[in-house]
Structures are given as C-alpha cells and as structure tokens.
Structure 1
Amino acid sequence: MSSHTPSSAQVLSVNVGRARMVGQGRRAHVSGIDKRPTTTITVRDPGDRLTGAGSGVPGDHLADRKHHGGTSQAVYVVAREQLDHWQAELGRDLAPGVFGENVTTGGLVVDDAVVGTTWHVGDHAQLEVRGPRIPCATFAAHLGEPGWVKRFTAHGHPGAYCAVLRPGTIRAGDGIRVHAVPGHGVTVRTVFSAYSGDLEAVDLVLRAGCLPAEEHAELEARVARRRADATPAAD
C-alpha cells in the first residue's frame, strides 16, 4: 500500500546531541538529550542496542544503552507543531532538538503514523516507524518543568522512534514522502496509550503484532501483571 504526504511535509531541522550534564546534585548525569541543530546528519542502522553503535546518527551521544538506541530506536522524530504546542503551554521558546529529537518535521502528523510505515526522506534515506518515545526522568530533568512526565504523557503526542531501512544524509529542507502503510491501523499514539496503561489499546497492539518480538513479550507480561493485580483475591 502506498500513500503520499502533503507537498509541505519536510525536514525543518536535523539535530545532534553532545555529552552534557543534565540534572542537579546527586541526580546530575551525562546525557545526549540536549540536541542542537546542525547542517546535515547521516542515518544508518546502529545494530543491537547493547553491542552495536548506539544511535542511528553518527556523532550523536547516547549514554543509556539499556533503555535507548539500537535498531528500533535509531532515529527520533518530532513534529515542530508539537514543539509549538508546548511553547504555548509552557510560555517559553523551544528550539529544534530540545525534546532530544534527531529530526524536527513540519507538515507531517508524526504521532498518527501507523507503526511500520516507511518514510522516504530526501534523496536516499528511508525510515520505518517503530513506536513512541516513552518519557523518562532524564527528559524531565532536561526540561525542568514540574510534573513533566505526567503532562507529556497526558497530552499523548510522544513523537516516533524509527529504524533506518536505507542509510543516507538528511538536511533541513528535505522532503518527506510516506511510502508504505501497514493495514493494521495501529498508530504511534495507540502504542503510547498501551504503554501508558490503556488496556483497550494494549489489546489492539497485541492483536496487530506490530511490535518487535521483545517489546511484544514485554507488553504481554506487563498487562498480565496489571490484570492479575486487579483480580480480587479468592475467599
């Protein structure tokens, strides 16, 4: 199945994170979440999360390989429209890369992308949507906003992690074309809702079988525990 985005869908910024301190006091640690715009990035498959190259963008610092990086989280994409939403909500400027994204887009509804969709970016690069970004303590420390993880989760627009199906160079101004869209209909937002505890969304995601095997098994185990905890004990 093929479809196309509006002609306005494009890359607005490409961003790389250097190793910088995040947080304060005992919680201070090194992270690459604070990404800054650059002229171009090269994207490639980094391989296994723990033993591979880490980020799918050479030169992009990745400190926590237990939870980030690897093939399914090679490139993080966020819509500029979501940064604009949070600018208004927070009353502060949010520059491209501030959410830790490698690619900031315009004219593309990133969060409504069906998992497994492929995007052709520029002349050569091809990305495959794999799932949502899950907010963490590092993200909260970086933004410095009270209750940030809960607020970000409640809004429900997490941005998309992508695998790199075909390597290439990406720069601001590159067009983005949607190429192949799976028929199961499960979007990035649906998966995010499932990870956030929505059992109806969990059922949709598990039936679609759209997640990598390890993440599918993890979601199954998580919902089994949640349902077991909700079951009244026998007298």
Structure 2
Amino acid sequence: MKKVEILSLNVGKPKDMEFGKKSITTGFFKQHIQQAVFLSRTNFTGDGQGDLVHHGGVHKAVCVYPYEHYSHWENTLERMLSHGAFGENLTIAGMTEEDVCIGDSFLLGEAIVQVSQPRQPCFKLALVYERKELPLLVQDTGFTGFYFRVLREGMVSPTDMLVPLTRQAHAISVAEANRLMHHDKQDLEAVRRLLEVVELSPSWRKTFEKRVAGQDVNTSERLSGET
C-alpha cells in the first residue's frame, strides 16, 4: 500500500436544519479547516454527530470519502461539489473502497487509525441534495466511503498523509463487505470469511451473524424434516 493524500480535513458540530417541513439535527455539514486538530477516540475536536445511535462512536470516529467518486456524483446531481460534500471528515485521493481492507491500519499525523466498516448511506443525503433515491444510489454503486476507529489519539494536520502500517491478514476489502451486505446476501461462505476479521465493527458483525444463524437454522430445519 502507498501513502494516501488528504485533500481536505473537515469538521462540524451538529445543528438543527430545516428540510421542507422537517427539522433535523445533523452533523452532516462540515467545514474545511487549515490548522492541526486533535483526534480523540470518538472524533476530531470541533466535530460531532446529530444522531449518536447510527453515527459516531469509537468504531465510526472518522468518516472517509474518496475524491475519485466526486465526478460521478457531480454528473448525477448536475452540480459541482466541494470537499466534504458527503459529510466526510477526510476527503482523500488515491485509495477507494476497492483498495482498502477491513482492519487495515494507518498513521495519520500523530494518530493511528484502522478501517472498521463501510459507511452506510444515510437518508440525510436525500434531504441535503433533494434526491430521495440518493442513499440507494450510493449503496448500489458501492461508492460509500468507510470509517476509521482510532487506535492511538493524537494531533492531525490537513497536510498529513495516510501512511500504511498494517494490512489485515484476510485482506477483505471495503468493496467486498459492501457486496455482501447489500447485493450477494446469500454468499454465506464469503460472509463467514468476513466474520473471521476481528476488526469488523460490532454493528456489521451483528448483522452478518444474524444472517448466518438464520440460514443455519433454516438448513437444520430442512434436514430434520428429511427421511
């Protein structure tokens, strides 16, 4: 793996926004910063999430989005997009979901971060861009971005790079995890391989374990009924 460029470091506190008749508290809107900032176990200083049930926490401390996808979305949305347009903390260049694996770790300034799961497209994307199908489009393309957990806290500068430290031995990419979650749901052999990756976030692990357990139960029931 090679060093990955950070195009923009973005933070923003939650605020109430009006979307038509809806009032939503969201931390989606991030501002590019130019100074170094501290990265804790849960977020950058100055950053936050409006919905702590589905966003944020130690396994989703940093949201990352590849700039390589921006041109696709600019064509889809018929508008120019600035860095942070997908609510990400890090807009990066040189690494996409195909290139990075669950459990890979990186040096980020003084901090050490690790890939925990793909990003799950949120309904707030639909509200912000007034395209109700946008979360599904993000899911279907696989252009989701991904999350870091923080293994070591420290200062991070916008001029820092993501420096690869370790690659998870199973080498299951974020793109592969997306495929199993959203598309090839019956590929249980691949799901079991993914579950061997101990660094997979608890929320995604729980979903896949339920899927495997349900299939195993159905299989057992069929076998017990055979003569």
TM-score in same-fold range (> 0.5): yes
Q: Does 1:88 align with 2:88?
A: no
State how far apart, in whole Å, the 2-side matches of 1:62 and 1:221 are. 27
- Are 1:17 and 2:34 matched, yes or no? no
CA deviation map 1:55-105 (0-9, x unaligned): x11221311111111111000111111223312332211111110100111
- CA drift at 1:208: 3.9
Deviation at 1:226, TM superposition (A): 7.4
Which of 23, 32, 35 aligns to 2:27? It is 32
Residue 94 (structure 2) pairs with residue 97 (structure 1)? no
Contact preservation (8 Å) 2:48, 2:56: no
Aligned to 2:38: 42
Alignment partner of 2:178: what SS?
Answer: helix
Give unmatched runs, 5+ long, in structure 2.
none
State percent identity of aligned pairs: 28
Q: Structure 1 residues 227 and 84 mapped into 2: Cα distance closer, same or farther (>3 Å)? A: farther
- 1:152-181 Cα deviation digits (max 9, x unpaired): 111102111001112222233322211100
Inter-CA distance 23–185: structure 2 relative to 1 (3 Å threshold): farther
Counterpart position of 2:142: 156
User: Given the superposition, is the C-alpha separation of residues 21 and 121 from structure 1 closer, same or farther in structure 2, using an over 3 Å criterion?
Assistant: same
Residues 18, 184 of structure 1: CA spacing in aligned structure 2 closer, same or farther, 3 A cutoff?
A: same
Separation (CA, whole Å) in 2 of partners of 1:169 and 1:93 = 31
Q: Residue 217 in 1 paired to residue 203 in 2?
A: no
Tell me which structure has the larger Cα radius of gyration: 2
Aligned with residue 79 of structure 1, among 42, 60, 66: 66
Question: Using a 3 Å threshold, how does the CA distance of structure 1 residues 100 and 223 change in structure 2: closer, same or farther?
Answer: farther
Shift of 1:117: 0.5
CA displacement at 1:205 relative to structure 2: 1.6
Report the count of equivalent residues: 218
Matched, 1:5 2:36: no
Asked if structure 1 preserves the Cα contact closer than 8 Å seen for 2:96 and 2:145, the reply is no
* CA gap 1:222/1:23 in 2 versus in 1, 3 angstroms: farther
